[in-house]
Amino acid sequence: MGRRQPNFKPYHQQQLMLLPPSLDELVPKGHVVRVVDDVINKINLEPLNAAYYLTGPASYHPQMLLKVLVFGYMSNIYSSRKLEAACKESIYFMYLSSMSFPDHNTINRFRGVRLKDAFRTIFEQVVTLLAQEGYLSIEEVFTDGTKIEANANKYTFVWKKAIASSKEKMKKQLSEIWAYAQSLAATEDNMPEPPDLTTINKEKVQDTVDTLNQVLSKKENIDKKMKAKLGYVTKHYPVNIARYEQQEAILGDRNSFSKTDPDATFMKLKEDHMRNGQLKPAYNVQISTSNQFIVNYTLHPNTTDTNTLASHLEQHEKSFGAGPKSLTADAGYGSEENYTLLEEKKVTAFVKYNLFDKRQSRTFHKKHPFAADKLYYNPKQDHYICPMGQKMAYIGERTRKTTTGFAQTLRLYKARNCQSCPLNGACHKSQGDRVIQINVNLERKKQQADQLLTSEEGIQKQKKRCFDVEPVFGNIKNNHGFRRFMLRGKQKVEIEWGLIALAQNIRKKAA
């Protein structure tokens, strides 16, 4: 009697189907790929169609390529070659592409070129659609930023300080050779007056080098070291100064850039695997969220968040026709300039300043009993009272400008007889009489911030910010592994981050 065989389901690889299943049957009804398909089908893609030529061979449909890209970014597939493979291997990508198989060049060209002028409009349409469906609010947002590494070599850096140092060496060397030439010059040489090398450019350097060569070429018995210096200067300085001017034009207001991605600035990132504080080329990404949906995004070369808010709000107004009614952010945005901007735009600012959290602690007040904000102020006579009860008289004002050009006015008040005061050394550390600087406008805005943030609504806003905007960055970086851009140049990087933001919103809608 033979051994009894197990019972298996039929398995015939070569068997043909009389009625093959459709792609729709193979995709589960509740799958996220259907949400991608539904959202992209609802938006107007005319701005994207304008990126294509009217003549020539037929192109892959932009609606199909957009769906493939967005679903790829939702599925942690960012490489164009992997997206090409997915269109041939994954039933979900086949469902979106309708069995089309675009190659990686087509996908890359679509992402970097075709989407260039149209993507922001596409993103705004999706945000508006989600707002109409009640998923998010465009008027009440939470803002934060993070730094993401650029696709650039971290050793191909250019520093503004290094350029300035090199130019100073140029000035010193040219002045030294000019002084030597003057010491040898006879009256008949008609040696011109020394050039003004306070500031130098390629024309001034070239003229100086030409004059030195013209004068010294007529002389005999020139010092060999000086002749070698002049040869080096003639060969390298005109070329170097031209390169420095090009680099300074790229730098603008920045302190650094990468040669492999000139739009990227060297920043300190949280992801410091070597734990040596090494600066890396990166972009400062700013987002505004509502219910963990990204409402607005911008990219900046600034290393701090403080100077990004103005352009970020401007983009919000450009996208939706008006700014938000309320904005909640951490202390990185709490500057006089930002408070003034938000006040002018009539935005309710639930924005902390740098010492807000510490001021809520009794320990902080005990550690700083003589701080300027604790001194009594007499508004009628315009003076402060020092800890010993003496008047601190008003002695004038001074104005200083921030890196963005914003003017701050500081009122100065000076104490008297500090040297004989028993609190001298504890009250202040300066050698003479104590002088305090009061920014009246900033103090007023801090008081307004205190009132808003300590109100019931402000406390709720502060709590919500921690689980609204911050988890979005955590989800993108940690859960979806996006820690470094794949494209280069600010324009392409903006498209790439826009795809990340759009993927986040559709993923959240499907959740």
Question: What pLDDT was estimated at residue 419?
Answer: 82
pLDDT confidence bin for 317, thresholds 50/70/90: very high
The region of weakest confidence among 241-255, 351-365, 386-400 is: 351-365
Per-residue pLDDT, 429: 81
What percent of the chain lies above the pLDDT cut of 90? 69
Q: In the prediction, which pLDDT does 505 show?
A: 97
What pLDDT, in 10s, does the model give residues 144-153? 999 999 999 9
Q: Is the pLDDT of residue 185 over 80?
A: no
- Residues 339 and 449: beta-carbon distance below 8 Å: yes
Q: How confident is the model at residue 357, as a pLDDT?
A: 84
Q: Indicate the pLDDT class of residue 369, thresholds 50, 70 and 90.
A: confident
Res. 189: pLDDT tops 70: no
Q: What is the pLDDT of residue 423?
A: 85
Residue 13 has pLDDT above 70, yes or no: yes
User: What is the rounded CA–CA span in Å between residue 511 and residue 505?
Assistant: 10
The pTM assigned to this predicted structure is: 0.88
pLDDT for 275: 67
What is the C-alpha separation between 387 and 236, in angstroms, rounded? 63
Least-confidence region, from 124-138, 244-258, 352-366, 490-504? 352-366
Alpha-carbon separation of residue 491 from 156, 252, 408, 504 (angstroms): 21, 17, 34, 20
Say which DSSP state 111 is in: I
Grade residue 498 by pLDDT with cuts at 50, 70 and 90. very high
Q: What is the structure's pLDDT at 46?
A: 92
Contacts of 340 (CB under 8 A, 6+ apart): 406, 441, 445
3-class secondary structure per residue, 373-442: HHCEEECCCCEEECCCCCEEEEEEEEEEECCCCCEEEEEEEECCCCCCCCCCCCCCCCCCCCEEEECHHH
Strands 280-290 and 140-149: antiparallel
Q: Can you give the pLDDT at residue 190?
A: 62
Question: CA 172 to CA 266: how far, in whole Å?
Answer: 29
Helix (H, G, I), strand (E, B) or coil at 135: coil
Q: How many CB atoms lie within 10 A of CB 446?
A: 20
The pair phi, psi for residue 318, each rounded to 5°, is: -65, -35
The residues, ordered by sequence, that sit 6+ positions from 171 with a Cβ below 8 Å of its Cβ are: 197, 200
Tell the residue number behind the tokens 């959740």, with chain if given: 511
Say yes or no to pLDDT of 364 above 80.
Answer: no
d(CA 261, CA 151): 7
180 pLDDT band, cuts 50/70/90, is confident
- Which residue shows structure tokens 């009993």? 369
Q: Quick one: average pLDDT of 242-254?
A: 94
Q: Which tens digit of pLDDT belongs to each residue from 412-434?
A: 999 988 888 888 878 888 888 89
| Residues 107, 496 contacting (CB under 8 angstroms) | no
| Predicted confidence band of residue 213 (pLDDT cuts 50, 70, 90) | confident
Helix ranges (H only) for 192-223 are 202-216
pLDDT 10s digits, 62-98: 999 999 999 999 999 999 999 999 999 999 999 999 9
| CA separation for the pair 232, 327 (Å, rounded) | 58
pLDDT grade, residue 219 (50/70/90)? confident
Q: Specify the pLDDT at position 191.
A: 67
Instruction: Tell whether the model's pLDDT for residue 273 goes beyond 70.
Output: no
Given this model, what pLDDT does residue 186 score? 60
388-416 pLDDT tens trace: 888 999 999 999 998 888 999 999 999 98
Q: How confident is the prediction for the chain on average, in pLDDT? A: 91
Q: Does position 187 have pLDDT exceeding 60, yes or no?
A: no
